[in-house]
A and B are shown apart, each in its own frame.
Chain A
């Protein structure tokens, strides 16, 4: 009898709150924010007011200490309304997670406490212009100088980087040592030598800000080091093992929106004297979207449930969820466009944006190719 798929009463209320907020506040402005590539900071503030921002900050640091199941519930709803907007709180959780995993209690209070006191964000700076998937090949240098590290180098594709209070930066003490030389360190944005360049011309997710960060001999006290001098790479991997689950959740939201829009249109649009929903060609599309949506949703919750229990099976499960959910969502968006025909191709209807937005879900926080390597490694390791 242990198997139980039901949400708790509080989780249902959370879902209702997130759904209402997404429908009433986020969805109506999604098109405008996309068109103008505008960061809706007022929505970040409202998200903070209703308590849906940075929900994983532990109670000891003044937060709610909630888990990935709760984040997944929020992610589906915000992803439904605007995946671009959802990336903002999602990327903040990505910046918080390394501190949850490797930060001391003092560090958690110092870095995460302020995130609960006002609308504010964290960020995670791993990728660089010359490396993305090959995370151990990073070039950003950290040099120990007394009780400081001096950080220099360039980070790329960093969500929230400038809006955040701090970035968790991954830098190497010695590039020759590959992943064993990587440290994770919290670099506050107000330190001398930190600068940002906003990345323009994104295909989708245009409400979410993305940056290149340049660290020019930035002095950071050793108290900001997470874990020890060998643990940076491991912290990055442990973080992504968890945080790709919200990427899956946002994808589920996109898939649900695609199905909602396609089904609504199919009932209204007539061809050959009847609604196109009467045709099997359309019905099959809707059914396939539903199959993808339902399986991705339940598997994403499963991965979150494993992670919240601390079950190591979440490493592979989160990769499965991320790759699968982002792919069925891309397919759902594609089929929604096809269902709407010419209308699907123009931005009067919200479906073309779904496709542009969810393309990124197949890329960030580890491309879907990397997810397959993680999954395959897990299969083979068990047999060796």
Chain B
């Protein structure tokens, strides 16, 4: 069997974001493998460890995405395919390009992160599934292979459900699915020798982005920051708080 994780490189959530000329400027920002994609990478490595086969990471993004791909390889994925493109390309257009590569790779199972830490998008997994004519299961918290099909638990708007899915299919991962391993130093050294095939997005004959980012700015929400000391008289503090919420904030 073949398992694919679609990954992305995003800014480390702990690092500051800056905006230059109305666009987010990532120069100097620490970039990491998207934490949501880590669940996807971990899952395909586990599948490979349990059932044999090949674990492949695929990405669409700028050249620097290779760093995140090396991290996935250092965790234990076998090889990578990187579709390179500069600048913002919307997930629907990305999906068309990824589908061309995936159709050729012909995996049985594809995982990707449930939400992207840069564009806050949840679309890539579902759009890629559509481009391939495969089903998608979003927000997967449990996954197992069973008689050539997959059995998965995933979250809905309220509650969750268990589904059986014909393969090949796309799954989006979330916390709870597994506990991603750290890459290891021997893994990092081995990853150096693993293959990363690069394909220019232009060669895949996919059009330009359907969505344009016109302007970006940092959100600063001013908070009031009123703090009441409730260490000595908790009941009085609670009364004051509820009064403030009722009379000043007018939300209760």
Contacts and interface: CB of A to CB of B under 8 A. Distances in A.
Given A9-B67, A10-B188, A10-B189, A16 B32 contact: yes
A264 to B, nearest CB: 12
Given A13-B74, A17-B183, 11 more contacts: A10-B189, A13-B71, A16-B71, A17-B182, A17-B188, A20-B182, A23-B14, A49-B184, A50-B184, A50-B185, A55-B185
Nearest to B189: A10
B62 interface: no
B71 A51 contact: no
* Category for how many chain B residues contact A: 10 to 19
A51 B185 contact: yes
Interface of A: 9-10, 12-14, 16-17, 20-21, 23, 49-52, 55, 64, 66
Contacts of A50: 182-185
A64 B188 CA distance: 11
B187 interface: yes
A20 B70 CA distance: 16
A190 B185 CA distance: 31
A64 B70 contact: no
A51 to B, nearest CB: 3
Interface in B30-65: 30, 32
A12 B67 contact: yes
B182 to A, nearest CB: 5
B87 interface: no
A14 B185 contact: yes
Pairs A-B, 4 closest by C-beta atoms: A51-B185, A51-B184, A13-B188, A51-B186
Name which of B74, B185, B187, B192 has the most chain A CB atoms within 10 A of its CB.
Answer: B185
B185 A9 contact: no
Contacts of A49: 182, 184
Contacts of B70: 9, 13
Nearest to A19: B30
Interface string B1-28: 0000000000000100000000000000
Nearest to A21: B182
Nearest to B185: A51
A136 to B, nearest CB: 37
Contacts of A23: 14
Nearest to A48: B184
Contacts of B187: 51
Contacts of B186: 51, 64
A350 B123 CA distance: 42
A17 B187 CA distance: 11
B90 to A, nearest CB: 29
Contacts of B184: 17, 49-51
Contact of A64 (B32, B189, B191): B189
B94 to A, nearest CB: 25
Interface string B181-218: 01111111101100000000000000000000000000
A68 B107 CA distance: 42
A21 B184 CA distance: 11
24 contacts: A9-B192, A12-B67, A13-B70, A13-B71, A13-B74, A13-B183, A13-B188, A14-B185, A16-B30, A16-B71, A17-B182, A17-B183, A17-B184, A17-B188, A20-B182, A21-B182, A49-B182, A50-B182, A50-B185, A51-B185, A51-B186, A52-B185, A64-B186, A66-B185
Contacts of B182: 17, 20-21, 49-50
* Residue from A12, A13, A55, A64 whose CB has the most chain B CB atoms within 10 Å: A13
Interface in B69-122: 70-71, 74
A168 B14 CA distance: 42
Nearest to B66: A9
A17 B185 contact: yes
A64 B185 CA distance: 9
Contacts of B185: 14, 17, 50-52, 55, 64, 66
A50 B189 CA distance: 12
A13 B67 CA distance: 8
A337 to B, nearest CB: 24
A50 B185 CA distance: 6
Interface in B148-203: 182-189, 191-192
Contacts of B191: 13
A14 B182 CA distance: 11
B18 to A, nearest CB: 16
A13 to B, nearest CB: 5
A302 B208 CA distance: 47
A202 B67 CA distance: 42
Contacts of A66: 185
Nearest to A23: B14
A70 to B, nearest CB: 8
Contacts of B188: 10, 13-14, 17, 51
B175 to A, nearest CB: 15
Contacts of B192: 9-10
Nearest to A12: B67
Contacts of A14: 185, 188
Contacts of A17: 74, 182-185, 188
Contacts of A16: 30, 32, 71
